[in-house]
């Protein structure tokens, strides 16, 4: 699959409806929603109050990426707030399985995420228990960082594992993705590319999304 999920983190929050309208008109597949708590990551973004306008103005599915401690406390509220998928970090929890159950019980797609310093092997035993895995290609916390090249071999490793076991699990890549590296990421086996600054910082975001997708 070749999906593009612009990250609303880099949108203009003073003109959020306009930016979402642009996303609606574009070939973007999902809207990536970055929630940061200032504890799991050294930055705070936004929470529930923005889910409502995003659901109202955005016609694309909301792909929620929780960068928070204790995701078990909040995943159901994000499901109720209209998330299409909810992901949280493996390294933020002791046991992800009961939390994945909470999300699945709401009929929402599940995603497990790891930061670049977490061994990709730790995801392997969960590949058949989630709809998607998200490999961070920068350290979670901020948009506009540089892509970490070591991500490429991690994508190939997970792709091989998914193929070998005949799974349908999607691979999402988040951080430093742009029109220059998108094709290589898809070739390595990525299914979904998140892009914040590359899309919203572009003079022609619709065209950038088109270029990334094709």
Question: Is 174 among the catalytic positions?
Answer: yes
Residue 37 or 79: the one with the smaller Cβ distance to ligand DX5 is 37
116 with 136: CB under 8 angstroms? yes
Query: Which of 32, 60, 109, 154 is in the footprint of ligand DX5 by CB under 6 A?
Result: 32
> For residue 107, what are the β-bridge partners?
none
Matching residue, tokens 């390595």: 188
Please report whether residue 71 would count as binding ligand DX5 according to CB under 6 A.
no
174's torsion region: left (phi>0), alpha (psi -120 to 50) or beta?
beta
Query: Which of 65, 89, 109, 154 is in the footprint of ligand DX5 by CB under 6 A?
Result: 65
The count of chain residues that interact with Zn ion, using the rule CB under 5 A, is 3
Among candidate residues 19, 29, 37, 174, the one labeled active-site is 174
Matching residue, tokens 């406390």: 73
Q: How far apart are CA 145 and CA 138, in angstroms?
A: 7
199's torsion region: left (phi>0), alpha (psi -120 to 50) or beta?
alpha
Query: Which of 175, 181, 188, 212 is in the footprint of ligand DX5 by CB under 6 A?
Result: 175
Please report whether residue 182 would count as binding ligand DX5 according to CB under 6 A.
no
Residue 16 or 163: the one with the smaller Cβ distance to Zn ion is 16
* Burial bucket for residue 20 (CB in 10 Å: 0-12, 13-18, 19+): buried
| Min CB(113)–Zn ion separation in Å | 8
Please report whether residue 87 would count as binding ligand DX5 according to CB under 6 A.
no
Please report whether residue 171 would count as binding ligand DX5 according to CB under 6 A.
no
Q: How far apart are CA 205 and CA 19, in angstroms?
A: 10
Matching residue, tokens 């050294």: 42
Contact segment (CB under 6 A) with ligand DX5 among 55-63, 84-92, 179-187, 192-200 equals 192-200
Among candidate residues 19, 29, 34, 191, the one labeled active-site is 34
Q: Half-sphere exposure of residue 173, counting CA atoms within 13 Å on the CB side?
A: 31
Residue 145 or 202: the one with the smaller Cβ distance to ligand DX5 is 145
86 with 109: CB under 8 angstroms? yes
Annotated catalytic sites, by residue?
34, 174
Question: Contact positions toward Zn ion, by CB under 5 A?
Answer: 34, 65, 174
Binding site for ligand DX5 (CB under 6 A): 7, 9-10, 32, 34, 65, 138, 140-145, 174-177, 194-198
């Amino acid at each position: 699959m070749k999906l593009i999920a612009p990250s609303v983190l880099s949108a203009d929050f003073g003109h959020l409806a306009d930016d979402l309208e642009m996303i609606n008109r574009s070939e973007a597949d999902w809207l990536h929603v970055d929630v940061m708590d200032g504890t799991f990551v050294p930055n705070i973004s936004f929470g529930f109050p923005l889910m409502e306008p995003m659901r109202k103005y955005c016609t694309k599915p909301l792909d929620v990426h929780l960068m928070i401690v204790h995701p078990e406390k909040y995943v159901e509220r994000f499901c109720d707030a209209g998330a299409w998928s909810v992901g949280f970090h493996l390294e933020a929890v002791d046991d992800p399985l009961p939390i994945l159950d909470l999300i699945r019980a709401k009929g929402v797609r599940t995603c497990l995420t790891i930061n670049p310093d977490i061994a990709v092997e730790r995801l392997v035993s969960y590949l058949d228990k989630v709809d998607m895995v998200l490999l961070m290609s920068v350290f979670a916390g901020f948009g506009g960082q540089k892509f970490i090249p070591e991500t490429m071999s991690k994508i190939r490793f997970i792709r091989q594992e998914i193929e070998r076991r005949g799974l349908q699990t999607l691979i999402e890549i988040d951080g430093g993705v742009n029109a220059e590296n998108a094709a290589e990421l898809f070739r390595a086996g990525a299914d979904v590319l998140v892009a914040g600054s590359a899309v919203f910082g572009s003079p022609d975001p619709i065209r950038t999304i088109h270029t990334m997708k094709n």
